[in-house]
Amino acid sequence: MVSKKRSCAFCGEQNNLTREHIFPNGVIRTYEEALLSLNDKSDRYFKADLVVKDVCESCNNGALSVIDGYFVKLFESHMHPPLLPGDSAEFEFNYNYLLRELLKISYNSARASADGFRAVAALRKYVPYILGNVSYTPDVILRLQIVTSSKRFNTHTNQIDGTMDAELLRSCKISYNGPQHSNFMIRLIALNSFWFYLIIPLKSVSSSKKETFINGFKDNIRLSGVPINSTMDFVSIPKEKTTYMHPGLLESMSRKHV
C-alpha cells in the first residue's frame, strides 16, 4: 500500500514539509510568552504561537520569507509598541507586500483552526498572489482601524489608575449578519493598535452590492477604520478616526479563532 504524502498548502508539491508559525517569528518574539499562549477562552488573547505543518521548505524559505521579512520591519517601525491614548497614526507601506502577508496569516490561521474549512476554501484562491506569482491585485477590500491604549478610570476613586494597553496579536473571523453578508467574509488581523480588516468577496458582486455591504458593516460594528487600496503607499489617521481599547470592543471580536 502506498501512503499518500501531504502536499504543500501553497505550491501543492509533495516537498519536505516544515513547521511555520501563523505570525512571523520576528513579530511573535516581541510578545511575552504568557500573552501568546495563555487562555484560549479569553477574548483578549490568541494562540499566536500556533503552527501549521503543511508548508514546504522552498515556499517557507522563498516567497513567504520575503513577505515575512518585509512585514517584520513594518511591525517594528509602526506597530510595536502599541499607540498611546490620544495618539494619531501615520502608516507607510507597500500595498501588495502588506496584503500578501495579511492574506497569508489569515490562510494559515484558518488551516490551524479545526472549524476553519469555509475560510480555507475562500482564502485558497489567493495563494498565487501570496506567492507573488501574479501581477494583478485581488478583489479583497482592506481597511485599517487604529485602536490606541486607553486610560483606565476608577469609578470608586474618580481617578485614572492605569492604562489598558492595546497589546494583542490576533487573527480571526468577524461575524456579521447585515445586508449582503452572505456574499462576503470578514477577517481581522490585529497587531497591537493596528487592526486590519480583510473583506473578502465570496463570489463576484456588483459595486453597488459592495457599497451596501461596506456601509452596513461600518454602521453595525462602528469599527471600520480607513480604507487602504492599491493606489496608496501612505495613510495618515487623525485622532478623530481612531478608537481605543475598552471591554465592549474586545467582546465585539469573535470568540472563534477560525
Cβ-contact 224, 218 below 8 angstroms = yes
Which part of the chain contacts Zn ion (CB under 5 A), choosing from 11-19, 25-33, 110-118, 200-208?
Answer: 11-19
What minimum distance in Å lies between the beta carbon of 9 and Zn ion?
8
Site string for Zn ion, 26-65 (x = CB under 5 A): ------------------------------x--x------
Question: What is the nearest approach in angstroms of Zn ion to the Cβ of residue 10?
Answer: 5
127 binds Zn ion (CB under 5 A): no
Where does 70-158 show beta strands of DSSP type E? 89-92, 141-148, 150-154
| Separation CA 218–CA 258 (nearest Å) | 22
User: d(Cα 100, Cα 106) in Å, to the nearest integer?
Assistant: 10
- The residue (of 10 and 71) whose beta carbon lies closer to Zn ion is 10
The set of cell numbers assigned to 13 is 508539491
Restricting to residues 138-157, name those near Zn ion by CB under 5 A.
Answer: none
- 217 contributes a contact to Zn ion by CB under 5 A: no
In this complex, which beta carbon is closest to Zn ion, that of residue 56 or of residue 141?
56
Instruction: Judge residue 26's burial from the number of C-beta atoms within 10 Å of its C-beta, 0-12 exposed, 13-18 middle, 19 or more buried.
Output: middle
- Parallel, antiparallel, or unpaired for β 89-92 and 17-21? unpaired
Give φ, ψ of 43 to 5 degrees.
Answer: -80, -15
Comparing CB distances to Zn ion, the nearer of 6 and 255 is 6
Give the total of residues touching Zn ion (CB under 5 A): 5
Q: Would you count residue 8 as binding Zn ion (CB under 5 A)?
A: yes
Interface ranges with Zn ion (CB under 5 A): 8, 10-11, 56, 59
